[in-house]
Every structure is written in C-alpha cells, then in structure tokens.
Amino acid sequence: MMINIPYQIFIKEVVSEFRTRYALNALLMFVVTTLSIVVFSLGDNTVPYEILCGMLWIVIFFSAMSALSRTFVSEEERGTSMTLRLLTTSTNVYVGKLFYNIALITVLSVFIALVYQLVIDDFHIQTHSIFWVTLLLGSLGLAAASTILAAIIAKANTKGTLFPVIAFPILLPLLLECIRATILAVEGAFFVEAIKDFQILISFIIVMVVASLMLFDFVWND
C-alpha cells in the first residue's frame, strides 16, 4: 500500500517517538542540565541582556541539534529507510519529516523560553509579540535546515559529531537574526522595528525549504 500523504509520515514519527520515549527523555534531561549549568554559572552576577539573549539561542541551538540529528539516522539503524523508499515518494518523506521536526522544535523552544524566563531573573521580555514571533520563525528555520542536513549525514560514519559541525555555519545567519530580534523584544521596541529581521528569517526559511525540496530526492535515493 502506497503512503501518498506526508501526514502519514508525520503520524509514524509521532507514534514511533512516543512508543519508546527514549529520545524525548534524553532531550528533556539535556535541556534541564543545560539550563541548570547556565543558572549556576551566572550566580548572583548581573549579566547584560544582550548576552542573556545570545545564551537563550545557544541553548535552543544545541537542544535542537540533539533533537533533530537522529531524524534520518533512526531510519537507517532500524532498516526502515528502504521500506519508505518503496512505499512513498521522497517529497512525501521530506515534508512529513519536516512537519514532525517543526512540531518538535517549536514545543522544545517554547518550553526552553518559558523555563529560561523563570530561572533567569535579569531576562525580562518587554515586547512579547516580537519575542514569540521570533521564537516561531527561529524554530521553523532550525527545522527547515536541520531536516535536509540530517538526511545528508545519516549515512556518515561519525553521525553524532558531524551534524552540529555542518549545521552551525549554515544556521549562523538565522541565529544572529534571532538574537537581534530577541534583543529588540527585551528592549521594548515596537513591533514594526523588528519587521526587517522577520523578513530575513522568512527569506531564510523559504530558501532552505525550496533548496531542500530540490536536493532531497538525490540525497534520499543515493
């Protein structure tokens, strides 16, 4: 039976993840540990809000790398990648995986942002609309870039270490824009002042998705 819609791939990913919960539990422990280290490192010191904004996105970045790096590695390890190649098209696989990654990283980013605001006393959001739009667009950008990168490194011998090394230079422009927009949110800027940053983030997402759709068939069937 052919799998004709990406939704079925998305459901497969969700069911597979919640069946074991190994990755979710490991990811939760990673986030809690990272945030704890940040809190203990800061102590009672007063840290400029620009640095706090950067630290937030560093935590989100490395958490995303931990969460998304196994998107296609698990298929190769379980031997289900060949089954997917037989049952559906490469486009359906990519879109289904992308939807799952978007859902995962969005929930992860919101969780990190909420906990970060609770445990970091000096981090106060003044313009919430800018902050949450930035968080959403940043999550979309991370998922869009990480999905195709995870497919590329799935067959490499050093999967775990290779993913963040490849992802960082590609995601650096995205992270810098997210940090800049977050600083505006902390400073209490008007929403219109962040429009340029949002346009850059949206452009990044569009470029990554279009390029991924063009390249994924070659990567998936290689």
pLDDT tens digit string along 92-145?
A: 888 888 998 999 899 999 999 999 998 888 888 999 999 999 999 999 999 999
CB burial readout 158-186, b (16+ within 10 A) else e: ebeeebbebbeeebeebbebbbbbbbbbb
Count the residues in the chain. Answer: 222
Question: Where residue 1 falls among pLDDT bands split at 50, 70, 90?
Answer: very low
What pLDDT score does 21 carry?
66
Tens digit of pLDDT for each residue in 154-211?
Answer: 766 555 567 778 888 999 999 999 999 999 999 998 999 999 999 999 999 999 999 9
Token digits of residue 1: 């039976």
Residue 11 has pLDDT above 50, yes or no: yes
Residue 22 has pLDDT above 70, yes or no: no
Per-residue HEC secondary structure of 83-100 comes to: HHHHHCCHHHHHHHHHHH
What pLDDT score does 207 carry?
95
**Residue 67 located in a structural domain:** yes
What pLDDT score does 134 carry?
96
Range of the domain at 87: 6-220
- Give start and end residues of each alpha helix (H) in 120-158: 128-153
**Residue 1 located in a structural domain:** no
User: Identity (one letter) of the amino acid at 69?
Assistant: S
**Residue 19 located in a structural domain:** yes
- Provide the 3-class DSSP secondary structure of residue 71: coil
The pLDDT of 53-61, averaged and rounded, is: 92
User: What is the total count of domains within the chain?
Assistant: 1
Token digits of residue 65: 């790398």
C-alpha 38/C-alpha 197 separation (Å) is 27
**Residue 10 located in a structural domain:** yes
6-20 helix and 22-42 helix, angle to the nearest 10 degrees: 70
**Residue 111 located in a structural domain:** yes
